[in-house]
Homo-oligomer: A and B are copies of this chain.
């Protein structure tokens, strides 16, 4: 049984959790109390020197970084991956793009706008990140005018990575109706057999903390 250390609000953990779920792996979540500082504790840093979720345990194997976990689960289950070396490279390309330009911005932007106390929020920082996120979303929108999923005609871990933050309800300046191809792609993903929303898939949500 694979264990995934995660919490509901983390889009990076969601990428790993949704990959596990849609590939029908046997897994269970282990709740990480991020908002009370668990990822900054010594035991957690022992598990992951990077101090981040997700962390996956499969027997003795411990993996961190959502992209690595996605790649591992896809290889292990034979699902949601590429069918050739070229497809696998194209998937990896979108995973890097996501980490660098999409989730790498959407994550801290959503955090700043929703989970940081109002007095610590900075309008200039938020505007800067919204500008960068918008540029990345335009790239995704353009690709989706050409193919129904990011790397072709099938759902892969590349789509799961890039959509990671986009289903969250907290406002961070993303409006799917402004991007018709992203909107249709998100609907395709939501209609995939076994799909679950992040707050239905992982323990913890803003409602739990309220």
Contact = CB atoms under 8 A, between A and B. Distances in A.
Interface of A: 49-51, 63-68, 71-72, 89, 92-93, 95-97, 99-101, 103-104, 108, 122, 124-125, 128, 132, 139, 142-143
A63 B50 contact: no
Contacts of A142: 49
A67 B49 contact: no
B89 A108 contact: no
Give the dominant DSSP class at A's interface: helix
A92 B68 contact: yes
B68 A96 contact: yes
Each complex incorporates copies of this chain amounting to: 2
Candidate in A63, A92, A96, A108 with the most chain B CB atoms within 10 angstroms: A96
B64 A93 contact: yes
A41 to B, nearest CB: 14
Contacts of A63: 89, 93
Contact of A68 (B64, B68, B89, B128): B89
A42 to B, nearest CB: 12
A50 B97 contact: yes
A158 to B, nearest CB: 12
Given A50-B97, A125-B128, A139-B51, A92 B108 contact: no
B108 A93 contact: no
Contact of A72 (B71, B89, B100, B108): B89
B67 A96 contact: yes
A156 to B, nearest CB: 15
A96 B93 contact: no
Given A100-B100, A122-B124, A128-B122, A65 B49 contact: no
B49 A139 contact: yes
Contacts of A104: 99-101, 104
